[in-house]
Amino acid sequence: MSPTVARVTNETTGALMRKSTKTKRVRVLLVSACVLLFGSALVMGVPSFAAAAANTITVTPDVAQTTDPLSNAVSLQMSAVDSDAETTFTWSQTGLPAGVAIDPATGLISGTFATPFTGQVTVTATDATAAMGSATFTWTAKNTVTINPVGAQAGAPGTAAALQITAADDNPTQTLTYTDTGLPPGLAINPASGLISGTPTTPGTYPVTVTATDTVKETATIGFTWTIGNLVKVIAPAAEKSAVGTAITAVKVTATDSTAGETITFGAAGLPAGLKIAAGTGVITGTPTGPGGTFAVTVTATDGTGATGSAVISWTITGRVTVTMPATEQSWLGIPVSVQVKATDTGAAPPLTYVATGLPAGLKINAATGLISGTPQKNVAAAPVTVTVTDAVGAVGQALVKWSVGYPVIIPNPGKVTSAIGQAVSVALTFTDIANKGAHVTLSSTGLPPGVIFRQVTPLVYGWPTATGTYHVTIHAKDAKGGISVMTFPLVVRFAANGPTGQIHLALNGRCLTDPGNRTGNGTHVTVSGCAAGPAQRWTVGSDGTIRVHNHCLEIAGQGSAAGQPAQLWQCNGGVREIWMQGTAGELVNPASGLCLTASGSGARMGACHINKSEAWTLPPQPVLAVVAGKCVDDLHDVGTNGAIIDMFSCNGTPPQAWTFEPDGTIHSAAYGTKCLTDHGALGRVGTKIQLWACTAANRKGQQWAVIRTGGLSVELKLGGVCLAIPGMKAADGSQLVTAPCNATDPRIHWRIW
């Protein structure tokens, strides 16, 4: 069925329109234009329509809007609902200020408020049928200014004042300006910073209002009171110092008031115990009772209006610090020290602080406890040490101590000792541990000349030096508790080339070592020829290990290996190729090469030591030196009979002290050539007394001594497992020699031979 159509004539155009009663929309279904030309007039037919019902439009939002701060951009989307489901609207508004507008197509209100605004805004939506709907609401646009609150203020005439007013604007682009009303005379506010400053001049109570205004004239205001009272100034000393138990000198506190004639009342807080202030005069008097300390005393002056002034006195109360220390202290090198300083303080003002000056090296004081501790590192004699104790308020006490650090082990100094190369050194030492009686003491030595050694048990420096020089011999002692001692003495060793002089016999064919030219020069090869009296065979066996003739030394020719090299004469130069030592079987050994002087035809060359007759040499008769300086092996009575006593006696260079060491191990008396040094008892027994007996096969077992080199110039003379010995280090001249265990640490068994 077709819709019903009503004929409507447009009164303006005369067009015919049809309205659908079904859809309620006006549609032009047919426009008939009948143009009738009637004469010269145009006749148009205008159709007429029936009235249509209007659409209903609802607009949202329709509630109040706020923009804060102004700088925030506006973005409000308007919406509309049409009763005929229309979705296309045209938007408009009334009431919005400049800077904010609505988009006619979308309904979006946007922009930025330039100034504060409060007003009614109407937004209208119009659809395609010209139907309209509106929403009206209030819109507020503003900045918010806040000022931090300020409490009541007080001041005094002539006293500078400062108060910072702080405010904030939620629009950071805004600049605040500060204004005031009611400030006390003499004060003003900085419009830019809000700082109130100045010096008030007039007493009174002032109601003050401060306003902060931003660029768009938004404001905030606070109010407070500012009271300017009288100015009271207190005059008092900055510091006072008094002692416990001693009445103080009265301290006068005074005050001034900006208003003349005011009555002043004084007070004090924090006074040390025993002191008081007079309220009417401000005079502080009394006797401190303690404890000591430093007190912050606040003195006040108050006038009749209640105006107050104050001052602070730093009041120190001291006591008497007494330090207790002995007048002297004795410590020992290397032994830990622990000395407690004692101190009392009548002011009872802890803590006490301890300081010590002049302490011996290695000692220190604990500043908090007063304990002096450490290990002395250097000897000092009665060093002045000052101990100072200070309490918390500056009271000081002192004690003076004479502090000595000594050697705990006393080793008497023997003084300067003088010797020569090859001469015996024998320096007996003693010690006493005065710090720790009975404690074990360990001894050692440094600085000894070569060839000289130190024995710890029954301390003894002994031996035969092999090099010249001035030696600073130091004996070190350390006891069981760490005590350290040293003693140093000079030992001077001079040069000495003297020694036994005579022929050097070769066991083979009875020949002797010879200077072939008798006073020949450097490079002359020595020969082995028949023994004959004369200077060409008169050799001196020097204390320095050289063998000399005519001021030339027997040495190994050449510069390199000694093997096979001939023996020659050369100006003595102290070189290792001119040093010789006799072995047990008469061999002459060069210690540097370890080779022996060997007869080869009529000459002598260096070869390996084989202990045969071509290497067996008999040196000239010589003294046998004991380890005790200046003592020699001696035929006591010089009678040459069997059983004669062989003793120790002061060296005197006489024939009874000259001995020949034969290649077969026998030691012959030079005075009595057929008599030998003999152990005539049971071989190997300790304590057998040594005698002189005939050198015979029957006695041979007790006469064949082995020469044992023990280092340097020292030898042991060994027979049957025991050694020749002096009876004691302090034995008197004439004491008979004995046999003793071959103990290398026993100096009694050490001898010097050439």
Smallest CA-to-CA distance from 244 within 104, 345, 132, 106 is with 345
- 3 state DSSP class of 657: helix
Residue 261, in any domain of the structure: yes
**Would 48 be classed as within a structural domain?**
no
Same domain, 473 and 534: no
Q: Tens digit of pLDDT for each residue in 66-113? A: 998 888 899 999 999 998 887 899 999 999 999 999 999 999 999 999
What beta strand segments (E) does 185-304 contain?
Answer: 187-189, 195-198, 204-213, 219-228, 232-235, 239-243, 251-252, 254-257, 265-269, 275-277, 283-286, 293-302
Domain match, 748 and 629 both: yes
513 and 614 inside one domain: yes
**Do 431 and 505 fall into the same domain?**
no
Asked if the structure places residue 51 within a domain, the reply is no
Q: Which of 576, 596, 618 delimits the end of a domain?
A: 618
Q: Please report the beta strands in 557-674, taking only residues with DSSP state E, as ranges in sequence order.
A: 567-571, 581-582, 588-590, 595-600, 603-607, 617-618, 625-626, 631-635, 644-650, 659-661, 667-669
| Three-class SS state of 36 | strand
How many structural domains comprise the chain?
A: 8
666 and 743 within one domain: yes
Beta bridge partners of 714: 711, 752
pTM above 0.75, yes or no: no
**Single residue among 228, 263, 282 that ends a domain in this structure:** 228
- 256 and 290 assigned to the same domain: yes
Residue 383 corresponds to which amino acid? A
Question: What residues have CB less than 8 Å from 298, skipping those under 6 apart?
Answer: 268, 269, 270, 310, 311, 312
Boundary of a domain, candidates 207, 228, 249? 228
Residues of the chain with pLDDT under 50: 1-51
In a domain, 77, yes or no: yes
Are 167 and 216 in the same domain?
Answer: yes
Pairing of the two strands 65-67 and 132-141: parallel
Whether residues 651 and 740 share a domain: the answer is: yes
Same structural domain, 737 and 748: yes
Q: Containing domain of residue 289, as a range?
A: 232-318
Say if 250 falls within a structural domain.
yes
Residue 436 sits in the same domain as residue 344? no
- Is residue 52 in a domain? no
Half-sphere exposure (Cβ direction) of 644: Cα atoms closer than 13 Å: 21
* Four-point Cα dihedral 562, 568, 574, 577, nearest 10: 10
User: For residue range 43-66, what is the model confidence (pLDDT) as tens digits?
Assistant: 334 444 444 568 999 999 999 999
User: What would the pLDDT profile of 10-42 be if each residue is shown by its tens digit?
Assistant: 333 333 232 333 333 333 322 333 222 333 333
According to DSSP, the residues that pair with 722 across neighbouring strands are 719, 741
CATH number of the domain to which 190 belongs:
2.60.40.10
Cα–Cα distance measured from residue 371 to residue 222, given in angstroms and rounded to the nearest whole number: 66
pLDDT at 53: 67
Q: Let me know whether 656 and 737 are in one domain.
A: yes
Alpha helices in 81-197 (DSSP H): none
Q: Strand 195-198 relative to strand 161-164: parallel, antiparallel, unpaired?
A: antiparallel
Q: HSE of 672 in the Cβ direction (CA atoms, 13 Å)?
A: 17
Does the residue 49 lie in any domain? no
In a domain, 585, yes or no: yes
CA distance 529 to 353: 92
Q: Which residue, among 425, 448, 466, has the nearest Cα to 627 in the 3D structure?
A: 425
Same domain, 137 and 152: no
pLDDT at 527: 95
